Chains A and B, each alone.
Chain A
Amino acid sequence: MLDDKIDQRRNDHTIVPATEGAPVTTARSVIWDRVVRVFHWSLVASVAVAAVTGFLAGAPWIDVHVWAGVVAAALVVGRTVWGFLGSTHARFADFVASPTVIVAHLRALMAGRAQRHRGHNPLGGVMILTLLAVIAAIVVSGGLVLGGTEKAGPLAFVTTFAVGAAARGVHEVLAFVLIGLIVLHVAGAVFESGRTRENLVRAMVDGRKQIRRGDHLSQEKPARPLFAAGVAGILFIAAAATIAMLSQRPGLGVPVAKVDTFYAAECGACHTTYHPSLLPRASWAALTANLADHFGEDASLDQAATARIADYLAANAAETADTLAANRLRRVDAAKPFTITATPFWRRRHADIADAVFASKAVGGRGNCAACHADAQSGRFYPGNIRIPTEARP
């Protein structure tokens, strides 16, 4: 208390640069409370998992990626609550500064006389807010991608494929922005560690920093953990309930009708029952017009059966659905208008899969979607439902 008064007085009159402030004691005091520290390293972990699964791992990892995003979102919400109800240096009020103060800090920094802050300095505060905002935006855009293109999650029922595809661009740009911010954030911590001769990374582990004369002083505020837990708890329960409820709604433009049993019996006798939404009307028409020469086999049916199947396919073709498969497979290879495996999208998406996998007994050909896509028959093709049979792996 006495030290604080001394500091206060010095603070009022002369500014003591961080490098000159002598430690008041050799003991280090808790600056970052446990909530802040657990939040920080949990966010590091969830962002790392999201980055690895998003940038490097393949599509089947989507569920891990989405859950990493959910955890990051929950952490950001929790940290925001704690920013109002946490201990002194956890509060936004401690580190969110006006532009004037930020510029003044920057000038003092360049002049070599910037004060030492026990919590975040004004520049660090900008970084914290930016990180929280960018992560929140990544989560929201990711939710739109998931809802619009994969027709999963709480936004699937309102998000068109076009919106989801646009959000994907935003999601990816923001992910790169986040990587840049993380680099700056670490660089800032290293710089400030050198400037103030104190290991700030260690401080985020054990929470402790030195108390020095001349430190910028904060207005002490007691943490209100019970209140914060109550607010966060209510927010989490409400959010989880809302997300769970909305996720139950059928996705916008996802075919709901069961695949016609006649079509499934006739065409599914030889191959995977390709969902009618996987090809456009013109392709189905060309296909049904020449069943006598069907991918190197005679698959002819009598006139009535052919007409019935042609009508069914036309009524449920890709133009009637808004799934990823329907949107992308609609662009067929002009030379092979009804060969799904010849479409640019199909080839791109399966480019990394070895020929041996398709040739394996467990798969038995490129056209056998259901060998790996558990939901092939529904036309959904959710990446989380991909399982390449173990015996087919090279």
Chain B
Amino acid sequence: MKLKSVSIALAALVVAATVAVAANPARQAILDGYAAKAGSQPSAARGKAFFFATHSGGKPDATSCTACHGQDPRKGGRTRAGKPIEPMAVSVTPSRFTDAAKVEKWFGRNCKTVLGRACTAVEKADFIAFMAGQ
């Protein structure tokens, strides 16, 4: 009886946490905005491939997202100047992708650094979809 109620409570907590992560309204709005512009459903799988890919066209010192963000989105990264970067994974850093201006600022800077161009709405939506599931 006791065990049952504990497991129910635990399950409820897990569900609540999952819902909170997945459905942070601010993040959802940002994601929906990019998806609407892209005109397609965001794909976490494409986002993953994008994150780990080696790109060309950008600055020679940073040719992939992982150069600074590290190989594991759940772990932090480090800037080229030695400053720690908080993990991109939403499960570890729940505040990720909740401030539209900040998201635009960093996509703007980092896409130009790594790709040498602005990212498309598809790429942005995929990226957020991938990180939201991490």
Partner of A368, one of B81, B105, B113: B81
Chain B CB within 8 A of A292 CB: yes
A296 and B78 within 8 A (CB): no
Interface of B is mostly: loop
Q: A292-B112, A298-B110 are in contact. Are A272 and B81 (CB under 8 A)?
A: yes
Q: Report B47-91 residues with CB < 8 Å from chain A CB.
A: 59-62, 78-83
B82 & A296 in contact (Cβ 8 Å cutoff): no
For residue B102, give the distance in angstroms from its CB to the closest CB of chain A. 10
- Chain A residues whose CB sits within 8 angstroms of the CB of B61 once the complex forms: 296-297
Beta-carbon contact of A271 and B59 below 8 Å: no
Q: Is B108 among interface residues, defined by CB-CB distance under 8 A? A: yes
Interface size class of A (residues with CB under 8 A): 10 to 19
A300 CB to closest chain B CB (Å) equals 6
Contact indicator A365/B108 (Cβ below 8 Å): no
A291 CB → nearest B CB, Å:
9
* A301 → chain B closest CB, angstroms: 8
| Closest 5 A/B residue pairs (Cβ) | A364-B82, A271-B81, A368-B82, A298-B112, A365-B82
B37 interface residue (CB < 8 Å to A)? no
Given that A292-B112, A297-B109, A298-B109 are known contacts, is A269 also in contact with B83, CB under 8 Å in the complex? yes
Separation of A296 and B110 alpha carbons in the complex (Å): 11
Mark A249-274 against chain B: 1 for CB-CB distance below 8 A, else 0: 00000000000000000001111100
Contacts of A271 in B (CB 8 A): 79, 81-83
Beyond A296-B60, A296-B61, A298-B59, 6 extra complex contacts between A and B, CB < 8 Å: A269-B83, A271-B81, A296-B59, A298-B108, A298-B112, A368-B83
A371 on the B face (CB < 8 A): yes
A contact set with B: CB distance below 8 Å:
268-272, 292, 295-301, 363-365, 367-368, 371
User: From residue A54, how far is it (CB to closest CB) to chain B in Å?
Assistant: 32
Enumerate B90-116 residues with CB–CB distance to A below 8 Å: 105, 108-110, 112-113
Determine the distance from Cα of A298 to Cα of B80 in the docked complex, in whole angstroms: 12
The reply to whether A371 and B108 form a contact with Cβ atoms under 8 Å apart is no
Interface majority SS (helix, strand, loop, mixed), chain A: loop
In the complex formed, the residue of B with least CB distance to A362 is B82
Q: How large is the interface on B (under 10, 10 to 19, 20 to 34, 35 or more residues)?
A: 10 to 19
- Asked whether, in the complex, the Cβ of B109 is within 8 Å of the Cβ of A299, the reply is yes
Interchain CB contact (< 8 A) of A363 among B62, B82, B110, B113: B82
Is there an interface contact between B59 and A364, defined as CB atoms closer than 8 Å?
A: no
Chain A residue nearest in CB terms to B111: A298
Cα distance A200–B113 in the bound complex, in angstroms: 75
Q: Which of B59, B60, B83, B112 contacts A270 (CB 8 A)?
A: B83
Of A268, A298, A363, the most chain B CB neighbours within 10 A belong to A298
Q: List 27 A-B contacts (CB under 8 A).
A: A269-B83, A270-B79, A270-B81, A271-B79, A271-B81, A271-B83, A272-B81, A272-B83, A295-B80, A296-B60, A296-B61, A296-B80, A296-B113, A297-B61, A297-B80, A297-B109, A298-B109, A299-B109, A300-B109, A301-B105, A363-B82, A365-B80, A365-B81, A365-B82, A367-B82, A368-B82, A371-B82
Residue from A299, A301, A363, A364 whose CB has the most chain B CB atoms within 10 Å: A364
Contact B82 A300 (CB under 8 A): no
Which of A272, A295, A300, A367 meets B108, CB within 8 Å? A300
Closest to B81 in A: A271
Measured in the bound complex, the distance between the Cα atoms of B62 and A236 in whole Å is: 61
A169 to B83, CA, bound (A): 39
A368 to B83: give the CA distance in the assembly, Å.
8
| A300 CB contacts on chain B under 8 angstroms | 108-109, 112
Bound: A270/B86 CA distance, A: 11
Taken together as a complex, chains A and B put the C-alpha atoms of A17 and B113 apart, in Å, by: 89
Contacts of B109 in A (CB 8 A): 297-300
Given known A-B contacts A296-B62, A297-B62, A367 and B110 have beta carbons under 8 A apart: no
With A and B bound together, what is the CA distance between A299 and B79 in angstroms?
Answer: 12
Bound Cα distance A297, B115 (Å): 11
Residues on the A chain within 8 Å of B59, using CB: 296-298
Shortest beta-carbon distance from A180 to chain B in Å: 46
Q: Who on chain A is nearest to B62 by CB?
A: A297
**Chain B residues, Cβ within 8 Å of A368:** 81-83
With most chain A CB atoms within 10 A of its CB, the pick from B59, B79, B82, B113 is B82
Residues of B within 8 A of A295 (CB): 80-81
For the complex formed, measure the closest distance between the CB of B75 and the CB atoms of chain A, giving whole angstroms: 14
